[in-house]
Amino acid sequence: MKPAGIVTGMLSEAECISVAETPHATFCAAGSPGRAQFGALKLLEEGARKLISFGIAGALDPARSQGDIVLASHVEDHASHRFPTDTAWRQKLASSYRNIGSVTEGAIVTTDNAVATMRDKATLFHRTKAVAVDMESAGVAEAALENGIPFLAIRVIADTSTFTLPLCALVGLDEDGSTRPVTVLAHLAARPWEFVALLKLAGASKIAMSCLSRIASVGF
């Protein structure tokens, strides 16, 4: 079995992979397409023979719900460059993951900054028709394309298209992909009205992380 190089945005996503029996190595990109590409290239240097972008995502398609699995048919970057995924590999995993929950095969768009508001999500959906948005997949896809390596993006929806991310959540990620609770609390103290939204996001993320763990247990 070919070893997989798996790029995540957060350490909590990488921790979900610990149950996987598939040979793998991980790199945490901390929500940056450029860092994701750097990490993917590093994983290839270390012996990875296929690349996966793995983690939670925001829904752009109003039909997608919390916990839905999205397998990218292709990934699009901020400049509208399209990167295809490996069709046979994707379809094989889609069949396996349907025992976990709802599986959608469609486009994922990668942005340099978080798409936080309902309006911004709607605008991006209108422009791209992508199912979901993340901040890593295009970087991983570009590294795979440059090296002729099979690539997949496996994402689980956390925030839906109608949910606006609280600002305090957007500042809570460190460069190594770990959370910064003190920073989150400081912003929350200045914006206490975001507390309810933060709780809702925490609940949605828990659902998505649980699904990621089940995906990893099935394998890649």
pLDDT digits (tens, 9 = 90+) for 41-65: 999 999 999 999 999 999 999 999 9
Percentages helix, strand, coil for the chain (3-state, rounded to 5) are 45, 25, 30
* Domains in the chain, number: 1
CATH number at 33 reads: 3.40.50.1580
Residue 183, pLDDT score:
80
Of 1 and 208, more confident:
208
Mean predicted lDDT score pLDDT of the chain = 92
Residue 177, pLDDT score:
66
Give dist(CA 167, CA 9) in Å, integer.
18
Residue 104, pLDDT score:
96
Residue 7, pLDDT score:
95
pLDDT at 176 over 70: no
Banded pLDDT at 28 (limits 50, 70, 90)? confident
pLDDT tens, position by position, 126-160: 999 999 999 999 999 999 999 999 999 999 999 99
SS3 for 54? strand
Evaluate if pTM is beyond 0.95.
no
Q: Which domain holds residue 203?
A: 4-218
Residue 77, pLDDT score:
93
Of 187 and 162, more confident:
162
Residue 24, pLDDT score:
87
Residue 174, pLDDT score:
67
Contact predicate 111/31, CB 8 Å? no
Task: List the alpha helices (DSSP H) in the chain.
Answer: 11-16, 33-45, 87-97, 118-128, 137-147, 167-170, 181-190, 195-218
Contact predicate 85/51, CB 8 Å? no
| Closest CA relative to residue 111, chosen from 139, 135, 79 | 135
Span 191-208, average pLDDT = 91
Span 108-132, average pLDDT = 96
| HSE-up of residue 218 (Cα within 13 Å, Cβ side) | 17
